[in-house]
A and B are shown apart, each in its own frame.
Chain A
Amino acid sequence: MSDLHHAHGHGDGHHVDHDEHLHAHGSMKDYTIGFILSVILTAIPFWLVMTHQLAPGTTKYVILAFAAVQVVVHMIYFLHMNSQSEGGWNMMALLLTIILLVIVMTGSIWVMYHMNANMMPNMINDGSSVHGMHDMQ
């Protein structure tokens, strides 16, 4: 009872700014839509992989696409992202992070993939590879 009274006390127009703020984030509709979309976007990739519907190579790209869509769904319906929140600075920080993330991910995969492809045969087969390695350094 005392808890209820306490909560009510704050709603009595004394802290109008708080009241305005409390209504700012999300709605039942948002959360429900987000949840249903997430369940669908999660279930399909699991179904694809567990029942071997497509060729492995195709499955990989299809489920990555599903993951990307689900991330956007979560951003919009759960994290309530839009270009106006916090005066646009949320979106700016997100864009910067995405740029850095892409550089880190693609850069690492690209470089390391070529390391494996280019260096291993030389190191194993070619006698002059020691010289080549020094040249590279």
Chain B
Amino acid sequence: MAMAVHAAQKARRRSLVSYLLLTMALGSVFLGIKVVEYSHKFHDRLVPGPNFLFSGPRGEHAELFYSFYFAMTGFHALHMIVGIGILAVIVWMAHRDRFTADYYNPVENTGLYWHFVDIIWIFLFPLLYLVGHHG
């Protein structure tokens, strides 16, 4: 994404389109991994609700954790889906040669949004996947 903004600033249309498509592809890979991860959770009955089943002690704490897990990763994934949708519009505009070295604000703003969602993940990943493994 950062390289796409760079290409836009330099008015390199072809590399702008390529970098945007690459961003969308990598975002889709991330979402694909999430789909696999979620289906494992459903299979292991770790989704909070009447079917929740946790074999270890303090099951109600585990259920609370998985509520946070699904709410936070779910909203993050939702923002990424929106981001990929915005990127689809931007890549179409770039393909139609709508941007110049003087006018690329939509690309820049899409980058700001995408990087913000990235920052959320920088915090969510250690909080949900790493911290508390020793407790």
The reply to whether chain A is a binding partner of chain B is no
**Which residues of B come within 8 Å of A, CB atoms?**
none
